[in-house]
Structure 1
Amino acid sequence: MVASASFAEFLRDQLAPLGHLSMRRMFGKTGVFCQGVMFGMVTEDTLYVRVDNHNRETFKEAEAYPPLNYAKQGNSIDLSFWRVPERLIDEPDELVTWARAALAAAHRVAATRTQAPPGRKAKSRSR
């Protein structure tokens, strides 16, 4: 389920220190973007943030909740997005800290996707 209009507006207000935020529907959920990089997802008005090996310790508290997942061919596939604890809704400074760590992880993921695998040249997009 996508983010409600009121929850999306709440997130824009709370996370304004990050810069320009945008949201768009993706796979029945809402992707949360900062300057074109997706660092979070919302489903059922619950925020999930991007996790990687560098910020996992910052999000230790979130390990108590199941990660964002989806069903594929009868299996549950966990994504690298962890649920933000509800208490952070009342802690805007800490919520922004979590969002910054998630945004940094999203930039690291984006950087690895733009690099060519070893032994292969990156494809040119111009023709």
Structure 2
Amino acid sequence: MSSQQKTVDYILEQSADAGTMTAKKMFGEYGLYCDGKIMALVCDDQLYVKPTQAGRDYLGEVTDGSPFPGAKPYFLIEGDRWDDADWLAGLVKTTADDLPAPKPKKAKKG
């Protein structure tokens, strides 16, 4: 089952204060980016945040989940937590700040 665009739009809207939020469709699901860093996935209308130590400290009690079979565990963020925009933006910013900058893409040979 794939995620609904309205779910992704809501998460982006709620976490907008974290930075420049974007989403990219990936195999019927979505990758969420904050300031150019992929920091979460939306799969089956559930939010999975990349695990970082800063994110773990922010969350306190963590629920692990796998966004798809064979994936490493992510932090599963329950839907009722999305309604608190300040809290969600804080988690997104904390996580993004703790992740390394994306590697520059190599130029294609033409």
Distance change in 2, residues 1:23/1:99 (3 Å)? same
Residue pair 1:89, 1:95 contacting (<8 A) in 2 also = yes
Partner of 1:95: 88
**Quick one: which of 76, 89, 97 aligns to 1:104?**
97
- Separation in structure 2 between the aligned mates of residue 22 and residue 3 of structure 1, nearest angstrom: 15
TM (normalized to structure 1)?
A: 0.67
- Separation in structure 2 between the aligned mates of residue 3 and residue 102 of structure 1, nearest angstrom: 22
Distance change in 2, residues 1:9/1:32 (3 Å)? same
Residue pair 2:3, 2:45 contacting (<8 A) in 1 also = yes
- Separation in structure 1 between the aligned mates of residue 41 and residue 60 of structure 2, nearest angstrom: 18
Partner of 2:53: 53
Offset, 1:50: 1.3
Equivalence map 1:1-127=2 (5 Å): 1-63=1-63, 66-71=64-69, 77-105=70-98, 107-108=99-100, 110=101
> How many matched pairs?
106
- Separation in structure 1 between the aligned mates of residue 9 and residue 54 of structure 2, nearest angstrom: 29
Residue pair 1:61, 1:85 contacting (<8 A) in 2 also = no
- Separation in structure 2 between the aligned mates of residue 70 and residue 13 of structure 1, nearest angstrom: 24
Report sequence identity in percent.
20
In the alignment, structure 2 segments of 5+ residues that lack a partner are none
In the alignment, structure 1 segments of 5+ residues that lack a partner are 72-76, 115-124
TM (normalized to structure 2)?
A: 0.75
- Separation in structure 2 between the aligned mates of residue 60 and residue 42 of structure 1, nearest angstrom: 21
Residue pair 2:2, 2:43 contacting (<8 A) in 1 also = yes
Offset, 1:56: 1.8
Offset, 1:82: 1.0
Distance change in 2, residues 1:11/1:70 (3 Å)? closer
